[in-house]
Amino acid sequence: EPEVTQTPSHQVTQMGQEVILRCVPISNHLYFYWYRQILGQKVEFLVSFYNNEISEKSEIFDDQFSVERPDGSNFTLKIRSTKLEDSAMYFCASSEETGGDYGYTFGSGTRLTVV
Amino acid sequence: AQSVTQLDSQVPVFEEAPVELRCNYSSSVSVYLFWYVQYPNQGLQLLLKYLSGSTLVKGINGFEAEFNKSQTSFHLRKPSVHISDTAEYFCAVPYSSASKIIFGSGTRLSIRP
């Protein structure tokens, strides 16, 4: 069964450093998403991406965050200057249709720890 | 705006017992609803979805959910649970823009032998 692949599975970084989280969505999917889950809390929407541009973003997704699809297969989330409160599990997802109506396929996540 | 409420943060049950995980939704538009499961240290997996049609939806791993419009509920059920069902379960609904899904706060299902 097709999968969404995320790397790395765990990343530790120092506060103030830049991190890039990588995702390979399912190949025929057109819509891409990032969510995050702070330990013990809800899964929160960050951003959706379609046709090489952001289609929607949450208030969490401020100027320190950016997304990119640098080639035909990867979808990345960059955090420019990490803060302690950015420590969380970050999930990438993709969908063939608008995911809100049909559900997504999620990756297994990247656990980001900011120290 | 659409939202979901999961009434129980934790549900402990004995192995082979039935279980029901509760979810209530609020929506002013056509309702699509999802249940996702998160096994320990893993990502989110779609268990089942309600888009339209039959109100009883069958999913993977023997789970099913019933869409009840009058009670605005979409409770998840399984007649006999196994240790392997230990996980966190999230009810979810598309937000009004339909480009994102809003998750409930999750219900941790713990199975006792």
Task: Tell me if residue B72 falls in helix, strand or coil.
Answer: coil
Task: Over range A80-90, report the average pLDDT.
Answer: 96
Radius of gyration of chain A (CA): 13
Task: Tell me if residue B29 falls in helix, strand or coil.
Answer: coil
d(CA A108, CA B109): 20
Q: Quote the pLDDT of residue B32.
A: 87
How many CB atoms lie under 10 A from the CB of residue A33? 29
- Judge whether B38 and B24 are in contact, CB under 8 Å: no
Q: What are phi and psi of B99, to 5 degrees?
A: -95, 0
d(CA B27, CA B3): 7
In chain B, % helix, strand, coil (3-state, to 5) comes to 5, 50, 45
Of the two residues A2 and B48, the one the predictor is more confident about is B48
Query: Per the CB < 8 Å rule, is B101 touching A104?
Result: yes
Residue identified by tokens 């951003």 is A47
| Through-space distance between the first and last CA atoms of chain A, rounded to whole angstroms | 36
Interface of B with A in 37-96 (CB under 8 A): 42-46, 49, 51, 90, 94-95
Query: Per the CB < 8 Å rule, is B51 touching A55?
Result: no
Task: Say what percent of chain B tops pLDDT 90.
Answer: 71
Q: Quote the pLDDT of residue B29.
A: 67
d(CA B37, CA B85): 9
Task: Over range A57-78, report the average pLDDT.
Answer: 93
- Judge whether B24 and B66 are in contact, CB under 8 Å: no
Name which of B43, B51, B102 is nearest A107 (Cβ-Cβ): B43
If you average pLDDT over every residue of chain B, what do you get? 91
The answer to whether residue A91 neighbours chain B at the CB level (below 8 Å) is yes
